[in-house]
Structure 1
Amino acid sequence: MDLHELRVFLAVWEQGGVTAAARQLHCVQSNVTARLQALESSLGTPLFYRRARGMVPTPAAEKLQGYARRLLHLAELAHQAVQPAAQPEGSLVLGSMETTAAIRLPPVLADFHRAYPGVEIRLHTGTSAELCSGVLEYRLEGALVGGELDHPELVQQVLFAEDMVLVAPEGCCGLEDERIRALLGFRQGCSYQARLDAWLKEMGRSPLRLMEFGSLEAILGCVAAGMGVSLMPRAVVEHRDYGRGVRQLPVPEHLARVNTCFIRRRDMPPSAALQDLLARLGGVA
């Protein structure tokens, strides 16, 4: 299979159509169509259902996309291996929890960008469960998740630990406060929420109703307004931009520390860029 055809296939997969894929690849639509048709011809199967409003992947495309990402990644590694003196270039597609992306990553990524301006970093945020799926499906080269995982297809490295606190509105005495009815957080699959649910279960209290928000600012602002509580790393609450109008309450010792781990697929060797970034992340306190 031609590597450029695979790049075209993935662009159509990600963008949902030929027009958007052509814009991403900086080429004409006819070139995208021809490359995609050539790949389908060589494979002997259609990869997309053509619809008036876009392209829908076929089951064959669902299977191919993981292999395509792996092949392109290995091709990039091969290119780097024969040019050891060259600085890393290309793209680095990573995932992170929202809290880690907001507090821990900015200075590290800024330092990395100054050292390697030729590397394009694309950072996707999500819950630990979503990020794990992204790595397993080859959509992310790696991700920072909360807690340690046990999966045969993943390699993980503990980078640092977070001290967790219960973030509550002023006047709240803790989870014993019967006025607290809601847990404010991100989508289902957040490892921090699972930890708070375990705490509630130990107390004999029913799980709190989850109210989902898309940003730290929204969560903490609504906590300050008295809508509920959240479980967050202490570093988030102590940051000058996030801790206004809320109070920190202690978490039981066995639930209070959460390792932040970097995960990647076992069959995807890390690129030179990723190795350097991991070395920098290992220095985060």
Structure 2
Amino acid sequence: MEFKDLEIFQMVAEKGTITGAAKAFNYVQSNITSRIQKLETELNTPLFNRHHRGMSLTPEGKRLLTYSKKILLLTDEMNKAVRCKNEPSGKLDIGTIETAIHLPKILSAFVKKYKNVDLSLFAGVTETLEEDVLNHKLDGAFVTESDFHPDLVAHEVFQEELVLISDRRTAALDELKEEPFLCFSKGCGYRARLEAWYHDQNITPRKVMEFGTLETILRSVAEGLGVTFVPKSTVAHLEQNGLIRLHSLPEQYSQIKTVFIRRADTYLTSTIEKFIETIDANKHLSVEPLRF
């Protein structure tokens, strides 16, 4: 059995057809078919159910897929460890929550210094990003601190004060209790904090409205659509310009940390090492907030 056989097996399982796998590898279909048949002969069991819609895994195929993913992940780590050089290079996939205000400084410093790294950024909420790091879909992610899975290690980036914000016409906190709550999807750390405050105050928001971007949420609050809970550093200038009003909540709800998480059991390449060094060197620098 060769590693390439396992790679082809995984691709057929993912695509569901020989044709799809052949296109992905730029192989002829007969090559894919023969490699799958060879693997089934070596293991003495069918790995796929063949039907008119394509191919689906048998119970034995599903079992092999679990081991195959582990084997190929370890192989990739082995190659990184053996080929590791002092100069970071290769692909680096990083996740982030929308409100990581220090992120542009960190990314800019890293990309300018290490030009051989192909860095890609993926936005999401904390719970989703945590799952993606655990499942090796991301090399690391900037998220809000929580009780993480034991397979993750967290590096502190900065601490924030969260504030409840409303349009400039609303002066008292009591006036906001029935306002619509504008937020990101479930799994957002800021949303969880405000929901905890609502719960402890026996408040039920009249409406919860989910948005995809921070800018849309802030614009909507400024227009009087509802309230939201965000880091003070991202909106202080909007208050200074008279666009919104800030409302403080008790420390147990408002104090929150942003951290960088990665898997604890993966090989720490020079690329990740230098990325963490860049975080440490830039996390305390001042940044320009979002403006509109």
Same fold (TM over 0.5): yes
On the 8 A contact 1:70/1:138 being kept in 2, the answer is: no
Partner deviation per Cα, 1:47-104 (whole Å, 9 max, x = no partner): 687775x87777777766676555445434433433454523322222211112xx22
1:134-153 to 2 correspondences below 5 Å: 134-153=132-151
Alignment of 1:15-34 (within 5 A): 27-28=26-27, 30=29, 33-34=32-33
Tell me which residue corresponds to 1:46.
47
- Report the counterpart of residue 290 of structure 2 in structure 1: none
How far the C-alpha of 1:202 sits from its partner, in A, is: 2.9
Contact persistence 1:136–1:153 (CA under 8 A): yes
Distance 1:36 1:146, change over 3 A: farther
Contact 2:180 2:226 in 1 (8 A): yes
Tell me which residue corresponds to 2:187: 189
Alignment correspondent of 2:276: 278
Cα distance, 1:116 vs. partner?
Answer: 2.6
2:130 aligned partner: 132
Aligned residues between the structures: 279
**1:94–1:244 distance in 2 versus 1, CA, 3 Å:** farther
Aligned to 1:252: 250
**Aligned counterparts of 1:208 and 1:63: Cα–Cα separation in 2:** 48
Distance 1:171 1:35 in 2: 71
Evaluate the alpha carbon distance shift between residue 106 and residue 48 of structure 1 in structure 2; reply closer, same or farther with a 3 A threshold: farther
**Distance between the aligned counterparts of 2:157 and 2:135, measured in 1?**
23
2:215 to 208, 214, 217: 217
TM-score after normalising by structure 1: 0.78
RMSD (Å) for aligned C-alpha atoms: 3.6
Distance 2:145 2:268 in 1: 21
How big is each residue's C-alpha offset from its partner over 1:8-54, in whole Å with a ceiling of 9 and x where there is no partner? 566667777777766766x34638845873686366453687775x8
Specify the SS of the correspondent of 2:99.
Answer: helix
Aligned to 2:152: 154
For structure 1, the residue ranges without an aligned partner over 5 or more in a row are none
Deviation at 1:212, TM superposition (A): 0.8
Q: Is structure 2 residue 36 aligned with structure 1 residue 37?
A: yes
Q: CA deviation at 1:278?
A: 1.3
Q: Which has the larger radius of gyration?
A: 2
| Offset at residue 141 of structure 1 (A) | 2.4
In structure 2, what residue type is equivalent to 1:143?
Answer: A
Q: What do residues 79-135 of structure 1 show as CA deviations (whole Å, max 9, x unaligned)?
A: 3433454523322222211112xx222222222222333322232221111112222
Kindly indicate whether residue 92 of structure 2 is the aligned counterpart of residue 92 of structure 1. Answer: yes
The Cα shift of 1:236 comes to 2.0
**SS across alignment from 1:196:** helix
Q: Identity of aligned pairs, percent?
A: 31
Q: CA deviation at 1:279?
A: 1.6
TM-score, reference length from structure 2? 0.77
Partner residue of 1:107?
105
Structure 1 residues 220 and 13 mapped into 2: Cα distance closer, same or farther (>3 Å)? Answer: farther
Alpha-carbon deviation of 1:143? Answer: 1.8
Unaligned runs of 5+ residues in structure 2 are 285-292
